[in-house]
Structure 1
C-alpha cells in the first residue's frame, strides 16, 4: 500500500511537471505570436507614416508648382487631390487574392468587404473632402507654400477640439499647450503677413486666400475625427484592406464633386490650351499633374492609415509636424521670402509639437508603469487585438479604446 501511494505521488508530481512545461511552452508561443503581431502592426503604422510624409510635403509643393508656372484652374487642382484613387486597385487585388487563398469559401470570397453602412458614411465624407480640397486649392493659388503650410498647421487645433467632442479624446496640459501655441503662431502670421503678398495679388484677394486655407483646415479638423468615429461605430471587423476600400470610396465621391465643378466651369476644355502655354513645357505640365495626383493620394491613404493604426489626433500631429518642413522646401525651391514673422511662427509651432510629443511620451511611460505590475502587459500588448488570415491588422468597433495610441485613453 505504501509503495502504491509513493508511485501515485510520483505520478502526480510528474504530471504537474509536464503540465508546467506545456503551460510554459504555450506561454512562450503566445508571447511570440503577440510579438509578431505587434511588429506587423507597427510596420503598418510606419508605412502609413511614410506615405503621409511624402504626401504632406510633396502634395502642396507640386500643387503650387502648377500655379507658379501658369496654371489657373482651381477645380483641376482640387480634382488632383483625389483623382489618383485607381492606383489603390493594386493593393486591393493583393488583399483579395490573400482572402481567396485563406478563406474557407475559396473562390466565393467577396471581392469587396465594405458594408452599405460604411459606404454611405464614406460617400458623405467624400463630398465633404471635395469641398475642403476646393478651398485649399483656392487658397494655394494665392498664398506662398510657406504661408499656406503654416496656416494649415492650425488643423491640429481643430482636430484636438473635434476629437474631444467626437471620440472623447483625453488631453493633458502638454496637448493643450500645443494647441494654444499653434493658434498663436497662426495669429502672428496673419497679423504680420502683408509683406508676403505675391505680386499682382491685392490685399483683399490675399486675405480671402488666408481665410480659405483656414476654412480648409477647419474641415480637415472635422474630417479626421469623424473617420475615427466611423471606425468605432462600424459593425464589422476593421481590417487594413477595408480601410483602403473606404479611402477609395471617399476619393471617388470627392473626385466626382470636383469633376462636377470642372464641367460647370468648363475647365476640361482649358487643359490642352493651358498645357501649350505652360512656362516649363507641355510634357512637364502633364507630369506635374500626374505627380501631384499621386502625392495627394499618398497623403490621403497615409492619413486614414495612421488613423486606423493609431488615432486621428496622432494623424493630425504628424501632418502638423511635417508642415514646417514643407515651408522650408517652399523657401528653397520657390525662393519665397522667410520673414522674421515666419521665423517666429515656425519656432512657436515647433515648440508646440515638441510639447505635445513630450507630454504623450510622459503619459505613455506612466501608463506602462501602472499597467505592468497588475497585468504583466503593456499598452502595446493591449494594442495587438487581432490578425486575420490575410495578414491584415484589425479589431472590433471598439478597437480604438484599447489600441496602440499616441494619446492613450
Structure 2
C-alpha cells in the first residue's frame, strides 16, 4: 500500500536519449501502470455496486412504510465510521515525492473546507431523499444522469477540464433526456403521488444532481489546491470528515423537524417488520459508503468528470431492477430518455479514449501513467 500511496498521477522522468527511448519500459514502470488500472477498476466496482444497492434500498424503505426524509438523508452518510478500519490498516506513512517539499496546509483551513463540503453534502442528500420519495426509482435514476452534464460545466470552470465537441454533445443529450422525463409527468404521477409532488421531486432531483456535480469538482479542487497530497489516507480522510459533518447536520434536521418522534411508530408499522426496518437502514448506509469511496477514489486517481461518468453506468442497471422489484412502468418516453442518456455517456467515453490515446502517442516510449483530469 505504501507503493500505491507513492504513485504520481502524471508523466514522470526526465527527457531520454534515443537509445534509452528504444528500451522497453522497466518492470517497475509496468507494475505502476498495472497498479493504477487496478485501483481505477476497484473504485469503479465500489461506485457501481454501492450506488445501485443504495438507490434500490432507499426506494424499498419508502415502499415499506418509511417516511422520514431526514432519516433517509442521515443514512447516506452515517456509515462513515466503517471507513476508519481501512484508514488504520493502510496508513500513508510517507508523502509522495512530488509533494514532499510542499508545506502542509493549516488544520484550520482543512477543517473549514471539510465543514463547508459536509454541509453542502447534507443539503444535497436531503434533496435526493425528497426526489426518491416522490419519483419512481427508474425516473429518479434517469434524472440523476444529468449530473454528468452539470459536472462537465463545473469541471470546465473549476478544474480546467477540456470542453470538446464530444463532451458538448454529451451535455446536450443528457439535457434532452431530462427534458423528456419532465414532459412525462402526466403518465408518471399517480394517486399516491400528485402532479405537484412529482414536479417537486423532479426539480429537487435535478437540483441535487447539479449540487452533487459541484461537490465532485470542489473535492478535486481541494485535492489540487488545499490538501495537495495524493494518498490513500487523504481520500479516506476526505470522505470520513465530510460525512461526519453531513451526518451531524442530518441529526440536527431530524431533531428540529420533529420526525424523530415518529420513528418508533414507523418502525413498528414497517411492512417487512422491525428487523427488516433496521437492516434496510444499516445496509443502505453501508452501500452509500462503498459508493462514496468509489466516487472520491476516482476523483483522486482520474478526475471529477470521469467519476461522474462512471456513476452514470448504473443508469441502465437501476431501472431494470426497478421494473423487477418495484414494478415501475417503462413506457416509450422513458426508454427513449434512457437511450439518449446512454448515447450521451458513450459520447464522453469516446472523448476520454481519444484523450488517452493522444497522451500515449505524445509520451511515446517514456513511462506513462494516466494523468489527473484526463
Interval containing the TM-score (normalised by the shorter chain): 0.7 to 0.9
Question: What is the rounded CA distance, in whole Å, between the counterparts of 2:194 and 2:338 in structure 1?
Answer: 25
Q: 1:377 aligns with which of 361, 366, 370?
A: 366
Q: Corresponding residue for 2:292?
A: 300
Q: Corresponding residue for 1:222?
A: 214
Q: Corresponding residue for 2:240?
A: 248
Unaligned runs of 5+ in 1: 1-22, 104-112, 384-402
Question: What is the rounded CA distance, in whole Å, between the counterparts of 1:254 and 1:178 in structure 2?
Answer: 31
Higher relative contact order (CA 8 A, sep 6+): 2
Q: Corresponding residue for 1:263?
A: 255
RMSD, aligned CA: 2.0
Unaligned runs of 5+ in 2: 1-18, 96-104
Greater mean deviation of Cα atoms: 340-349 or 167-176: 167-176
Q: Corresponding residue for 1:166?
A: 158
Q: Corresponding residue for 2:12?
A: none
SS in structure 1 opposite 2:330? coil
Displacement of 1:371: 2.9
Alpha carbons of structure 1 residues 301 and 198: separation in structure 2 relative to 1, 3 Å: farther
Greater mean deviation of Cα atoms: 52-61 or 178-187: 52-61
Q: Corresponding residue for 2:146?
A: 154
Assess if the C-alpha contact under 8 Å between 1:56 and 1:323 holds in 2: no
Q: Once the two structures are superposed, what CA deviation does each residue of 1:33-79 show, in whole Å capped at 9, x if it has no partner?
A: 22222222222222111110112211111001000111100000000
TM-score by length of 1: 0.80
Question: What is the rounded CA distance, in whole Å, between the counterparts of 2:316 and 2:134 in structure 1?
Answer: 19
Greater mean deviation of Cα atoms: 262-271 or 178-187: 262-271
Q: 1:42 aligns with which of 27, 37, 46?
A: 37
Displacement of 1:242: 1.3
Q: Once the two structures are superposed, what CA deviation does each residue of 1:81-132 show, in whole Å capped at 9, x if it has no partner?
A: 0000010111011124x73xx89xxxxxxxxx99443232122101000000
SS in structure 2 opposite 1:272? helix
Assess if the C-alpha contact under 8 Å between 2:77 and 2:247 holds in 1: yes
Alpha carbons of structure 1 residues 342 and 117: separation in structure 2 relative to 1, 3 Å: same
Question: What is the rounded CA distance, in whole Å, between the counterparts of 1:270 and 1:212 in structure 2?
Answer: 24
Q: Corresponding residue for 2:309?
A: 317
Question: Of the two, which has the highest radius of gyration?
Answer: 1
Q: Corresponding residue for 1:59?
A: 54
Q: Once the two structures are superposed, what CA deviation does each residue of 1:304-343 show, in whole Å capped at 9, x if it has no partner?
A: 1110011000011011221231122111110000011001
Q: Corresponding residue for 1:394?
A: none
Q: 1:125 aligns with which of 117, 120, 134?
A: 117
Q: 1:359 aligns with which of 338, 348, 351?
A: 351
Assess if the C-alpha contact under 8 Å between 2:223 and 2:229 holds in 1: no
Q: 1:76 aligns with which of 68, 71, 75?
A: 71
Question: What is the rounded CA distance, in whole Å, between the counterparts of 1:335 and 1:322 in structure 2?
Answer: 18
Question: What is the rounded CA distance, in whole Å, between the counterparts of 1:115 and 1:52 in structure 2?
Answer: 29
SS in structure 1 opposite 2:90? helix
TM-score by length of 2: 0.87
SS in structure 2 opposite 1:234? helix
